[in-house]
Structure 1
Amino acid sequence: MLSAPGAFAAETAQPQNKAADSSQKEVALPAISVTGQMNNATTEGTGSYTTGETTAATRLPMTLKETPQAVTVITRQRMDDQQLNTVQSVLENTNGVTARQADSERTSFYSRGFLINNVQYDGIPTVIGNTVNGSGISALDTAFYDRVEVVRGGSALLTGTGNPSAAINLVRKRPTPEFAASASLGAGSWDTHRGMGDVSTPLTEDGRIRARLVGTYQDGNSYLDGYKPERKAFYGIVEADLTADTTVSLGYDYQDITPKGATWGGLPLWYSDGSQIDYSRSKSYGQDWSHFDNTLKTAFAEVEHRFDNGWTLKGVFNQYRTETEAELVSLGGRPDPATGLGAFPFALASEGRSRQNTFDVMARGPFEMLGRQHDLVVGATSSRRKASQDDVAPFFAGFTPINIHTLSPGTPRPNFDAIPHIPTRTEVKQSGIYSAARFSLADPLKLIIGGRLNYYEVDDDANGSTLHYKKNNEFTPYAGLVYDIDSTYSAYVSYTGIFNPQTDFRDTTGNVLTPSKGKTKEVGLKAAYLDGRLNAAVAVFETEMDDAAQLVPGAFTPGGANAYTGADGTKSRGIEFDLQGELANGWNIYAGIAHFTAEDGDGERLNSQLPRTTAQFFTTYRLPGAWNKLTLGTGVKWQSRFYQAPGVGTSTLGGEQSAYALTSVMGRYALSENIDLGLNVNNLFDKKYALQKGDFDTVTYGAPRNLMATLDYRY
């Protein structure tokens, strides 16, 4: 019998031997009951492209079929198969998520037409770097994570704040009770080299205290001339079972991202005669002094107690620290097509740091009412974030015209110290009480209802212009109704409220925008095939939002960034399809299609620089019989056209990228029981495409065909 959530029980009996000698007396052995802890959500070691359960939407453990929102899970196996070694590469291969890469370092992520600004570590919300330009999460190494969960739509129940786009939950690996170790060495295009080591070990003989250490290092060159990315990362965690029911965890991770020759924006897109400039994909104006360094440090402590009645009490403290330092140069202007002259260099510098402390306490478990069993979660979160930044606003870095044909001469490093810095100081305090109950109205019908009561306060000083904003008792509701049609299919409807402080967006005075508010309605059909090893879902949604951040064309903050204003009447509608899991033994698949339409309050297309339709497909198959040491895989990513309209936003002449598809292939061969040799090839047909086209009248290209060979060892 099921003794508690998170526990399992199995009964076995010795079968009677009908073929035995008739003189032997048949004996039935007594039933044996085995109980222990397991985590159905963990994907490491399963070889699966799906998960048994998730708490990402409500903190209540539910299968994907039971969750009344669109959820995609990128498992450990899929990250390994596709060599998705950064959070950016994971999100670029996630259905319903669009990456918009401005240059070598800044990538922002969107879903359903809105910026994704909700990031969580193990379900605890945080602000990692700057979500507007992606400098916080795009280069994070994924070697530390068991899985990445993406819940599309509103997520204010758990995060308290955020756009109705998606919430990204980075779920860390945990120590194992038995010794395990793995390592990998990789080499690929442009002299890329990568190493990873992962060791999990018990520290006591009975395994009650255990630890895990993970480290990575990657360097090399790039398809961009002069650009040399480098990443170092470390993660360590210790877990201790104080009793059979109480576990304490302490952990720390460190990521150091130090690229050289970093780019800022793209290259000029238009000649002076109005024709477009066509570059080789390797062209870059990044200088040897150009850099955009990010250091991210996270420390966390957790204590969890499991009661005999199935309830769990958990407390978590997280501290996130970030440090950034950038000196960059870019080109602007419309050069002459004959001489190539007419582009001029611009430069900027920025230095910042932030610290966020977050505490979360939560209790969840079953309860009985009116003769039926239900589930409840109740919790409280409090966080405080301080951030400081000193900027040198963009300025002319030289009056010697640059030849766009040769991208010469280079620009010497300016004396940034001699230029006035623009200071910005921000403090954000948030707290909230949240709760959700899952009521079993009938055997096939479940109602999930809850909400969050928020407190939010911001103090902002941007170059002497101050802002104080405070909001008490802001309630964001959550409701979902799930009907089990049969053991395979379920239908659902859900409603989520939106409350989104917009501290990353500033107006022309440099002050942050006031929060946006709205709602998302979603209807869907889900299926769990093959005992849950294959999950499918289709969702239709509609979102409405007021005070949404909108770019003000040609306007800037005192620090030189784009200026925004709040706009009412923003709407987004769309449909999404997901398929993730196992089609047959040894055959994994991930597929998805997402389409949305979005418009602002004036009926104009919202964020036209995003493709309206995207599709994802990736599959691997382990060959049978004598060929079972070989696994082959292939995938395709497709997206519809996107464009920058002339005279809108940051573009004067516009720019358009037509629809395109990128194909990848992989192969892995088991040299022995413990050693695999793998090869991944991306952009197999060497498609030339733009990552962005028209932003500030520039263009940025994606990577050509590239490959990575990896040698993996596991013990």
Structure 2
Amino acid sequence: MSIITAAGKFRWSIDARAEAAFHPHLDGASKGATWSPPRTVLGSAVAAAVLLAGQGAFAAESAQIQTRAAETSQEEVALPAITVMGRMEPATTEGTGSYTTGQTAAATHLPLSLRETPQSVTVITHQRMDDQQLNFVQGVLENTTGVSSYQSDSDRTSFYSRGFLINNVQYDGIPTEVGNIINGSGIGSIDTAFYDRVEVVRGGSGLLTGTGNPSAAINLVRKRPTREFSAAVSLGEGSWDTYRGMGDISTPLSEDGSIRARMVGTYQDGHSYIDGYKPKRKAFYGIVEGDLTPDTTVSLGYDYQDITPKGSTWGGMPLWFSDGTQAQYARSANYAQDWSHWDNTLKTAFAGIEHRFDNGWNLRGIANQYRTQYGAELLGLIGRPDRTTGLGTFPNGAYPVALAFDGRSRQNSVDVMASGPIELLGRRHDLVVGATSSRRTASQDAAPFSLGFTPVNVYDLSPAYPRPDFDAMAWVPTRTRIKQSGVYSAARFSLAAPLKLIVGGRFSNVEIDDAAGGTSLHYKKNGKFTPYAGLVYDIDKTSSAYASYTGIFNPQTDYRDSKGNVLTPSNGKTGEIGVKGAYLDGRLNASVAWFRTQLDNAAQMVAGTFTPAGAQAYQGADGTKSRGIELDLQGELARDWNIYAGIAHFTAQDGAGVRLNSQLPRTTAQLFTTWRLLGGWSKLSLGGGVKWQSRFYQAPNTGTSSLGGEQNSYALGSLMAQYAFTQKTSLAVNLNNLFDKKYALQKGDFDTVTYGAPRNVMVTLNYRY
């Protein structure tokens, strides 16, 4: 039996013969169990180690200490050898069985518990991703409090928080530019098999990311190699002939485990509820980690994701008939042809070094190279068909429109950071200082729209539309180069025993060169200061109150005005107050937060206006405001009973008082829970959940909509069951959209409609060694 401590400092390995003496109700199938010492005399050495250990989660590392109980009596327990293994990793969630984490550094780079962090933070753990089969980042974000998705078509999804687009993505804390305005946020299709957890910090994140919107920052934290051999394999089969395989092997490369490696591979293929759409994904992740000394660790890794769907949709089906009534379609309706596709390849190479000093300070350096390559040939339908015939006579009717584009990007990033304790005025404080630099180059070539003049019958989706001769068209090039650098620092001062102050800031330099459609832009900003401040007061041993202020700015290179010029940067600031609680020795975290955000020079669509290259035109608007409340609950209610629940509500409007991003629901709520049964049914775990969101709409004659569209509020239910045949083998069944609710993912964008998936099931066989 292994017991993981809450402070994340030590691991206790205890012989099975003594297990009952320590915790008689534990068994081999327990998840995330914690341990309290028995009321016996353990011996001074063991007792001292217990006091130092605390409780929580970590990854075992270097030092080993062995001690043995020497005395026994009627009130004593004779103990076997106990091994205490050090180097704490209390943030790690893999293997804990938990729906929460011991700490996170996602907000400030200071390792803090959720209760000590003065911002709204949600951590989607490894266990929760497994339980809900959240195999891709899109599923993770759609099940996160305060995050809304906007799915325009089969392969383009953007994510929003607090009314603003999320464009801050980090890998192991390193900011990375992922995607652009054409392919949404670009992260929805990323496979989660590579990651220990996904951390979402809502609000401004300019301290660490430098640029972005005051929405949220997503941090994808990679799995690390383990000192002992472990392996996991899963095979899944689901609705629409969906097949998925995953293999995960971690192994020591040296006898003492000082050099170790891990490899993860996934493959998914099959069909979809959308006619003719065949998503296909394969991915690989490899990392080698070594200890140069007991206090110095280096790592080198690479990940690769290849996403090659066929029959990709572009937009949805025409929403309005020519007589002004709304059309209804089967959820499977799709006019995309066999030649339609939207391919994406993502590659990341990274290297890191970390040194741990005896005085508690850590020095870390990470270098990343992130490459993307994508190409698409897409086909959609626009117009207003005749209600009776499904066709129409020009200008009415539904007409095909095609588009092709190719692009690639490369981003090199370096981050160096030092953190540790300092002594001042008789108190211990914490400090982090760092510097970061990145250079991104991106190029894209797009063919002009190809419009067909033969109307399509929306009832039988005929006639077919042959592939246009894209190669013979005059492609429009876009070239972008972005250089960013910055220095940042944050300090956590202990003003009094219950009162902590976090202050910090970042000085950023940004330089942008952009050329598209015959226009060019050079933008440079040096010494842009981004502030951060947070105050945390411990009400008692379990609860705290906090207030924070964060700032951020965003170079808006994806948005152009009617002349083709890139918009100048936006500036955002967020004030937040809240109350947090950590219960059951930190195994359950709860929070409630109130926030207010203002964003100036925010990009807004100009209805019916386009750039010289034919893209949607935008303009900057001041006075955009968002305010709301968020409640979050994550962790364990009781032994083997995990829960995640959240409610978020916001209101947002532009400077003229018009509702901002009305295509997003203003209120979302979700609940998911699992429970491992007791006694003779202990091999069976059951779970279920529900997601609800309020209505959303596209207002007529705004943005990309002329007649608008509205989706009423709806709820989606889910169920899961898992049976453990042995400690190594289990079978899981996940059922989604339990009541087969028909709902729209978007309604009114370019006067089209796109539907969500009907009821579906996935069966997964898991083996872990």
Q: Distance in 2 between matches of 1:143 and 1:201?
A: 17
SS of the residue 1:364 aligns to = strand
Q: Distance in 2 between matches of 1:524 and 1:552?
A: 37
* Aligned equivalent of 2:162: 112
Matched, 1:167 2:201: no
* Aligned equivalent of 1:395: 450
Percentage identity across aligned positions? 74
Q: Deviations over 1:368-425 (max 9, x none)?
A: 00000000000000000000000012230x2111001111111100000111000000
Q: Distance in 2 between matches of 1:18 and 1:319?
A: 62
* Aligned equivalent of 1:195: 245
Q: Distance in 1 between matches of 2:337 and 2:386?
A: 23
- Equivalent positions of 1:158-237 (< 5 A) are 158-237=208-287
Q: Distance in 1 between matches of 2:625 and 2:682?
A: 50
Deviation at 1:16, TM superposition (A): 5.8
Matched, 1:328 2:378: yes
Aligned partners of 2:336 and 2:378 also within 8 Å: yes
* Aligned equivalent of 2:460: 406
Deviation at 1:267, TM superposition (A): 0.6
Aligned partners of 2:740 and 2:759 also within 8 Å: yes
Which residue, 677, 695, 698 being the options, matches 2:749? Answer: 695
* Aligned equivalent of 2:576: 522
Deviation at 1:597, TM superposition (A): 0.2
Letter in 2 for 1:379: G
SS of the residue 2:619 aligns to = strand
Q: Distance in 2 between matches of 1:151 and 1:220?
A: 34
Which residue, 250, 260, 271 being the options, matches 2:300? Answer: 250
Deviation at 1:131, TM superposition (A): 5.9
**644-653 vs 52-61, which deviates more?**
644-653
Matched, 1:661 2:703: no
Q: Deviations over 1:35-88 (max 9, x none)?
A: 611200000000000000000000000000000000000000000000000000
Q: Distance in 1 between matches of 2:508 and 2:439?
A: 14
Matched, 1:454 2:508: yes
Which residue, 292, 308, 315 being the options, matches 2:365? Answer: 315
Which residue, 32, 51, 60 being the options, matches 2:101? Answer: 51
CA 1:617–1:131 in 2, change beyond 3 Å: closer, same or farther?
Answer: farther
Q: Deviations over 1:667-708 (max 9, x none)?
A: 000011210001000000000000000010000000000000
Deviation at 1:500, TM superposition (A): 1.1
Q: Deviations over 1:339-361 (max 9, x none)?
A: 10011100000000000000000
Deviation at 1:271, TM superposition (A): 0.3
Matched, 1:351 2:406: yes
* Aligned equivalent of 2:644: 590
Aligned partners of 2:159 and 2:185 also within 8 Å: no
Q: Deviations over 1:609-644 (max 9, x none)?
A: 000000010000000100000000000000000000
Q: Distance in 2 between matches of 1:35 and 1:294?
A: 43
**599-608 vs 500-509, which deviates more?**
500-509
* Aligned equivalent of 1:476: 530
Matched, 1:288 2:338: yes
Q: Deviations over 1:220-251 (max 9, x none)?
A: 00000000000010000000100001100000
Matched, 1:81 2:136: no
Q: Distance in 1 between matches of 2:579 and 2:512?
A: 40
Q: Deviations over 1:292-345 (max 9, x none)?
A: 000000000001111000000011100000001000010011001111001110
SS of the residue 1:12 aligns to = helix
* Aligned equivalent of 1:599: 653
Aligned partners of 2:477 and 2:517 also within 8 Å: yes
Which residue, 610, 618, 622 being the options, matches 1:568? Answer: 622
Flag structure 1 segments of 5+ consecutive residues without an equivalent.
21-25
Letter in 2 for 1:170: L
Q: Distance in 2 between matches of 1:293 and 1:558?
A: 26
Q: Distance in 2 between matches of 1:27 and 1:705?
A: 55
Aligned partners of 2:166 and 2:185 also within 8 Å: no
What TM-score, normalized by structure 2, do the two folds share? 0.90
Deviation at 1:7, TM superposition (A): 4.3
Q: CA RMSD in A?
A: 1.7
What TM-score, normalized by structure 1, do the two folds share? 0.97
* Aligned equivalent of 1:556: 610
Aligned partners of 1:128 and 1:320 also within 8 Å: no
CA 1:27–1:345 in 2, change beyond 3 Å: closer, same or farther?
Answer: closer
What is the number of equivalent residue pairs in this alignment? Answer: 705
* Aligned equivalent of 1:23: none
Matched, 1:364 2:419: yes
SS of the residue 1:509 aligns to = coil
Matched, 1:376 2:431: yes
Matched, 1:157 2:207: yes
* Aligned equivalent of 2:477: 423
Q: Distance in 2 between matches of 1:545 and 1:75?
A: 31
SS of the residue 1:143 aligns to = helix
Deviation at 1:104, TM superposition (A): 0.1
Deviation at 1:568, TM superposition (A): 0.3
Aligned partners of 1:225 and 1:284 also within 8 Å: yes
* Aligned equivalent of 2:15: none
Aligned partners of 1:256 and 1:295 also within 8 Å: yes
SS of the residue 2:447 aligns to = strand
Deviation at 1:27, TM superposition (A): 12
Q: Distance in 2 between matches of 1:74 and 1:474?
A: 33
Letter in 2 for 1:697: D
SS of the residue 1:66 aligns to = coil
Q: Distance in 2 between matches of 1:504 and 1:188?
A: 37
* Aligned equivalent of 2:171: 121
